[in-house]
Structure 1
């Protein structure tokens, strides 16, 4: 009997100790480490050039979102631990009280002392739990903050989202909103974005519920003024269907999950799938809504000009027909309008967009209300495009140098040539994506001629890029660069130094040469 009672006391005492250990562990925040906003922005700086304001806004928004997620998980775990341990401890106490404390094998004073000690420990545990709940503001629930990113094509919207998902090590799903329709119509239902996130999380529900969903091209869902009063199944209808998902609700989806991969008699891979039902809680999923919103900057500029005219109170407050005509014509321009502020600073009109402007553009107010964080990306300038070619990790220039290295050719592109490429990309108005198209045209002939040709070095200088300009409005599809054999290495370096001393010094160091050509050039 003594051994039995000792086991009871030990078990109860172990429950109390486990309760305290659980409280200490959860109170210390043993959750996935969230990088600070500065660390997040520093990571973004390695891959994305410019967009300082946008990177700061997204870093803070993502940091606060995952703080909210961890806080919610911590509170849920604490509550579960508290209920479980209190229930177990209370049951042990009731069992002990019913037991005969006057057992001859256990002295009365020892049994009573043990019981009082256990009761005291349980009261302390409850007091600690109540204090922890009080300090944690148990009734305080952090609201969800989704993000909307506005910016011209090629400004880095999608790259920002994918880079953040990489550093946070969370799954991400990017869905093009132009493919979505209301349920029951031809197209994809809005739940497809959750299904893609689940697939990216390898069908792990808990992992998917901490992921990021990017709804790209959201501006294509804008309801045109001409469709007011009509059924808009791929525009306003999709916006309405997205409301509950974005706000945070449990969504039941049926997914065909691969269960077995086999090979038929013709050596073709076949995958057997099985339908499974998953329930996903979207309250912890971060939604990033993105779009170019072509023409929104013109609308913002007109609104601000109207406000300025009204504040003056003069005849300028009346709309000028000629100015309205010019504004309509300017909508076909790729250039983003700039607004002159009262302090003399000029900013992109997209930075001054308000929820009212977005409603005027065609988004429903209910959708905008569920996306409290709105940031705009600046259109890329020539300097930005030049740095994008060379500086970020996975830079475009590094990619092409690596490709040519695979077939034994050292590709050399001077700084002047890269600046000219950036100028061409700026004229095309397609942002960073336009850089690859120009580089492909620039290196088409080179890529065709070099493999298995005996060419060891290729130089692309400013004159090579100039020859790409076929007419004032179009670029040529192929140009000729300068080719060098292995024995003409000194000629290559001499020609490089004529236009890019920095690249020449890099080649000198790479080939172990004394930079005599640089001295001759300076002389």
Structure 2
């Protein structure tokens, strides 16, 4: 039997292997993936289909036959091995194939003539409209909202225009610096929701240099691909937010290999600037069992954020050096009480903190967020569309009970949150603590019509005001 005849026997599919309607639908939507090298059809080329719905690329098929011929094994003997040797049968590939989950399949790209324009340049909301929408969800941070609105507008104008002339608009990747709990992640989440683009939020602390335990640098793009439903075209116009970016700063005074610091910054340079990268589909690291696909990061907007603890000391050192000479020199402790010292940050300060110049250069839009004041915390409690107080009022309204807060109580909550020094994150924990008894006791009594939270109750000096249905409010000392 000739080699070509053997190939035909392997590739032949009988009537029992005809796929059903669901299989046909998956074939129309998802790319075929090579069973051996796990590359999709767009990368490996046309697939060869063999029984049991198994696909093998031409490269792997050729290598298989080359290795068989090189080993001196007769193909005819190989095909009949099961009948000639006792207790040995051919491997059933159907048992090994199983079903590949959809989160590891790559969606087919639309043909160029059928694909819709990525973005309509006239449909991109203007910066003032983006900021107006952000105002409904995010309290304060006026400068940050203004900067991010303009940067996003310019970025998507660049994607939509896709200029082919000699003037190429560079990416407007961003670096946001602000104390913990000031709303960095929330700002990006809200932005992606308003723009209706895929968003991937990842933590820089889990990233390591390729070959070490941890997530590979390409995993940030893999997460965006998953958020876009494995649609490469959709992912290539999404947003990636890398939080805790300060944790990959260059380590000082270390003799060990810095696999999660400077080397990660080096590895991210090509992603930030824009490059074709091979990323695993449905996994955080490359391995032989995961399909790979190519994603171009040229039009992906990268936003990096971090609290940068210790950056204030770098800024103070610079400012004190500038103002500590002469008879009118400033006092050394002048900047110790300045909560918004980060506003005076410069690129040189960030470099001294441990970020390499090449990395900073690929994040041209640098801005800071302010620390939250008590007044801002009070506004956060009640003003946003999904404010915490509105959530609790809705919860009690489902029990037909009205919940209200005195203004003094709100300031007491804000004061407690301010003391914890973790920003707006403290608000929910504080409210959960004193609302526990109310949420437990109110469903017991159907006669309760209204609960008013007072300052004394927040400070544990008294109880809330309880009003029965059709009665005046009474202070309850039992809660």
TM-score computed with the length of structure 1 as normaliser: 0.64
CA deviation map 1:183-239 (0-9, x unaligned): 111111111111111111111111111100001000111123212x54100111211
The match for 2:315 is: 300
For residues 247 and 51 of structure 1, the distance between their equivalents in structure 2, rounded to whole angstroms, comes to 28
Q: Please, which of 420, 439, 453 is the counterpart of residue 447 of structure 1?
A: 439
Note closer, same or farther for the CA distance 1:291–1:256 as it changes in structure 2 (3 Å cut).
closer
Q: Does 1:211 align with 2:238?
A: yes
CA deviation map 1:462-487 (0-9, x unaligned): 1111217xxxxxxxxxx742333223
Q: 1:93-112 counterparts in 2 under 5 A?
A: none
For residues 452 and 194 of structure 1, the distance between their equivalents in structure 2, rounded to whole angstroms, comes to 50
Q: How many residues matched?
A: 354
Whether the 8 Å CA contact 2:199–2:241 is kept in 1: the answer is yes
CA deviation map 1:449-506 (0-9, x unaligned): 11232333211111111217xxxxxxxxxx7423332232x336xx8xxxxxxxxxxx
1:196 alignment partner, SS class: helix
1:173 alignment partner, SS class: strand
Q: Please, which of 399, 404, 422 is the counterpart of residue 391 of structure 2?
A: 399
**Superposed displacement of residue 161, structure 1:** 0.7
Note closer, same or farther for the CA distance 1:486–1:377 as it changes in structure 2 (3 Å cut).
same
CA deviation map 1:226-258 (0-9, x unaligned): 12x54100111211111111111011112149x
Q: Please, which of 199, 211, 223 is the counterpart of residue 250 of structure 2?
A: 223
The match for 1:283 is: 298
Whether the 8 Å CA contact 1:445–1:480 is kept in 2: the answer is no
The match for 1:18 is: none
For residues 259 and 120 of structure 2, the distance between their equivalents in structure 1, rounded to whole angstroms, comes to 45
Q: Does 1:462 align with 2:477?
A: no
Q: Please, which of 409, 414, 424 is the counterpart of residue 406 of structure 2?
A: 414
**Superposed displacement of residue 282, structure 1:** 0.4
For residues 31 and 56 of structure 1, the distance between their equivalents in structure 2, rounded to whole angstroms, comes to 20
**Superposed displacement of residue 407, structure 1:** 2.5
Q: Does 1:46 align with 2:136?
A: yes
For residues 407 and 491 of structure 1, the distance between their equivalents in structure 2, rounded to whole angstroms, comes to 18
**Superposed displacement of residue 355, structure 1:** 1.1
For residues 282 and 304 of structure 2, the distance between their equivalents in structure 1, rounded to whole angstroms, comes to 27
CA deviation map 1:317-364 (0-9, x unaligned): 9xx9xx59x99xx7xxxx7x35xxxxxxxxx22111111101111111
**Superposed displacement of residue 31, structure 1:** 4.3
For residues 418 and 316 of structure 1, the distance between their equivalents in structure 2, rounded to whole angstroms, comes to 42
For residues 52 and 315 of structure 1, the distance between their equivalents in structure 2, rounded to whole angstroms, comes to 34
Q: 1:497-508 counterparts in 2 under 5 A?
A: none
Q: 1:429-448 counterparts in 2 under 5 A?
A: 429-448=421-440
5+ unaligned residues in a row in structure 2: which ranges?
1-112, 284-288
Whether the 8 Å CA contact 1:255–1:275 is kept in 2: the answer is yes
**Structure whose residues are more often helix by fraction:** 1
**Superposed displacement of residue 408, structure 1:** 2.8
**Superposed displacement of residue 30, structure 1:** 4.2
For residues 390 and 61 of structure 1, the distance between their equivalents in structure 2, rounded to whole angstroms, comes to 29
Whether the 8 Å CA contact 1:48–1:160 is kept in 2: the answer is yes
Q: Please, which of 155, 159, 170 is the counterpart of residue 182 of structure 2?
A: 155
Note closer, same or farther for the CA distance 1:293–1:49 as it changes in structure 2 (3 Å cut).
same
Which of these two proteins has the greater Rg computed from alpha carbons? 1
2:146 alignment partner, SS class: helix
CA deviation map 1:360-400 (0-9, x unaligned): 11111111011011000010101100001011110111001
The match for 2:9 is: none
Q: 1:343-492 counterparts in 2 under 5 A?
A: 348-454=340-446, 455-467=448-460, 480-488=463-471, 490-491=472-473
**Superposed displacement of residue 277, structure 1:** 2.5
Whether the 8 Å CA contact 2:248–2:261 is kept in 1: the answer is yes
**Superposed displacement of residue 160, structure 1:** 1.0
**Superposed displacement of residue 316, structure 1:** 6.2
For residues 133 and 378 of structure 2, the distance between their equivalents in structure 1, rounded to whole angstroms, comes to 20
For residues 30 and 204 of structure 1, the distance between their equivalents in structure 2, rounded to whole angstroms, comes to 19
The match for 2:62 is: none
Q: Does 1:309 align with 2:324?
A: yes
2:253 alignment partner, SS class: helix
Q: Could you list the runs of 4 or more consecutive aligned residues of structure 1 that deviate by over 4 angstroms after TM superposition?
A: 29-32, 314-317
For residues 30 and 424 of structure 1, the distance between their equivalents in structure 2, rounded to whole angstroms, comes to 47
TM-score computed with the length of structure 2 as normaliser: 0.69
Whether the 8 Å CA contact 2:209–2:260 is kept in 1: the answer is yes
Note closer, same or farther for the CA distance 1:390–1:30 as it changes in structure 2 (3 Å cut).
closer
2:428 alignment partner, SS class: helix
The match for 1:191 is: 218
Worse-superposed segment, 218-227 or 186-195: 218-227
Whether the 8 Å CA contact 2:207–2:264 is kept in 1: the answer is yes
For residues 198 and 70 of structure 1, the distance between their equivalents in structure 2, rounded to whole angstroms, comes to 20
The match for 2:166 is: 139
1:484 alignment partner, SS class: strand
For residues 122 and 234 of structure 2, the distance between their equivalents in structure 1, rounded to whole angstroms, comes to 12
